[in-house]
Amino acid sequence: MKPFGPYALAGWRVLSDLELPELVAWPVPADPGRPLRFEAASAPSISGLRRFESLGDAGARLHVGSLALFEIASSGAHVTVHQAPDADPVELRSVVYGSVLAILCFQRGLLPLHGASVMIRNRAAILSGPRGAGKSTLATALARRGHTLLSDDVSPVDLRDPARPLLWPAFPRVKLLEDAIASFDLAGATAYTRAPRGTKGHFGMASPALTAAVTEPVPLGAVFALDREDEETVSCTLLPRMAALVFLNSQTHRAGMGLRMGAQEQIFRQVYRIASSVPVHRLKRPLDLNRLDESAWRIEAAMAGDETD
């Protein structure tokens, strides 16, 4: 069977036995280099356990409940997906874009930050924070103000040039809860998945009416630290370097897996470089969806170089 793709993911050309509709097409002419390949394989019986194993020179293995077993080659060039016969393809892809993407980033020298990213004034802004902090909702508000969505959930940062951190786009898709969907007057989600706070609808943000897909790296302009606290007013404060380092370290996606893969020094070095060269702002804001534009405006102002609080 002819593979799907080629797709673009974090600067990699992807060929896949699994359809990955959230990804954008690889730009032509095609990269003559070796692609990242996802190969589907059947798994007649998968236990309900969830575990991660680092296999050293043999790569890594991620077992996700009764959904699938992922075997990632040490080269980061090949992933075998042993999926259960009744595996939900949307849930399967969510793992690919989350944990599997993080593992590939560790293998290929990128830092996977937990957050959504948007291009503002030709630079990337990463909205980072714990689950439920409103990253996707705020990214959607910015996209609807004319900015380009680069990624959701995982933002791969390239620090091979320490003087010029770059953000590689992952996929222009957001997952929104029902209240946000209603607030944005959106309809026709491409898929739905379960979440701790309810069902989330998936919305592509690469349509010509909203944003254009980007596949090239974008200079990283700033990181915005979000939390779940409900404030009366919007404030944007530049974090000191040590506080920025602690925050970025806490938001390295699947850091525990990276540590078990022996990437501890790599992660620390990358987090330190971001904290040393990129402004990290603490964004406090009301969680009222009707006041999203206030937060979006403060992010735009910070990206333009205006003074923060």
Give me the chain's average pLDDT, please. 89
Residues 83 and 196 in one domain: no
Is 239 part of any domain? yes
**Distance set, CA 154 to CA 102, 124, 151 (Å):** 8, 13, 7
Does 179 score more than 60 pLDDT? yes
Residue 153, pLDDT above cutoff 60 = yes
- Tens digits of per-residue pLDDT, 109-126? 999 999 999 999 999 999
The pLDDT of 166-171, averaged and rounded, is 94
Strand (E) or helix (H) holding 299:
helix 292-303
Taking only the tens place, the pLDDT of each residue in 44-99 is: 666 666 799 999 999 999 999 888 999 999 988 999 999 988 888 999 999 999 99
Which of these three, 57, 89, 108, is where a domain ends? 108
Per residue in 209-254, pLDDT tens?
444 568 899 999 999 999 989 999 999 999 999 999 999 999 999 9
Give the separation between CA 103 and CA 96, rounded to whole angstroms.
10
Contact in structure between 153 and 116 (CB atoms under 8 Å): yes
Residues of the domain holding 143: 111-303
Kindly state the tokens that stand for 167. 């953000």
| Residue 308 forms part of a structural domain | no
Quote the number of domains for the chain: 2
pLDDT of residue 266: 96
Residue at a domain's end among 88, 108, 128: 108
pLDDT of residue 66: 83
> Are 246 and 240 within 8 A, CB to CB?
no
What is the rounded distance in angstroms from the CA atom of residue 96 to the CA atom of residue 119? 23
Q: Are residues 146 and 290 in the same domain?
A: yes
Contact 281, 308 (CB under 8 A): yes
Which pLDDT tens digit goes with each residue over 5-40? 999 999 999 999 999 999 988 987 666 677 899 999
**Alpha-helical runs (H) found in 72-225:** 89-95, 101-108, 135-144, 178-184
Report the C-alpha gap between 218 and 251 in whole angstroms: 20
Check whether residue 62 and residue 22 sit in a common domain: yes
**233 and 187 share one domain:** yes
